[in-house]
Amino acid sequence: MASDGVVLMTLVVKRMPMTDTTLEDVEHTLDRATDLEAEAAVDELRTAKGELEALEYDSDIDQDRRQELATTLEQRIREVKNREAYDSAFGAAMNPDDEDAP
């Protein structure tokens, strides 16, 4: 059969992470978040969580360690949010004249 000058090519695509973040960067964010105000800490931790999720299919990353860090990030986000809720409830209880008081 004649090929009529058609050339077929195969394209190989390697899936690359969308971030240059390393697991060490995420650990550093976890440490740094302890020194931040609650809202800023949650923002930093959520950003790190997103970057960590982008590494899910990176074959060069230790996936067990990545999963451990993901779990730690989720726990830390819950801790900060719970601490913030407790602190605001405690503050309202200390100032009963405030409209937020229980």
- 5-33 pLDDT, tens digit per residue, is 777 667 655 444 455 789 999 999 999 99
Q: 15 in a domain, yes or no?
A: no
**Residue 73 lies inside a defined structural domain of this protein:** yes
Q: What is the pLDDT of residue 94?
A: 55
Gap between the Cα atoms of 29 and 48, Å rounded:
7
In-domain check, residue 2: no
Range of the domain at 36: 23-92
Q: What is the pLDDT of residue 100?
A: 52
Query: Does 72 map to a domain?
Result: yes
- What is the dihedral angle through the alpha carbons of 31, 34, 39, 43, rounded to the nearest 10 degrees? 10
Task: Pick the closest to residue 24 from 56, 61, 77, 54 (CA basis).
Answer: 61
Q: In the prediction, which pLDDT does 9 show?
A: 67
Please give the Cα distance from 34 to 86 (Å, whole number).
17
pLDDT for 5 equals 72
In a domain, 7, yes or no: no
pLDDT attached to residue 84: 77
Residue 37 in domain: yes
76, 70, 32, 64: which is closest to 52 by C-alpha? 70
Q: Which pLDDT belongs to residue 52?
A: 93
Q: Report how many domains make up the chain.
A: 1
**Residues in the chain with pLDDT < 70?**
1-4, 8-9, 11-19, 87-102
33 is a domain residue = yes
In this prediction, residue 95 carries a pLDDT of 57
What pLDDT does 96 receive?
56
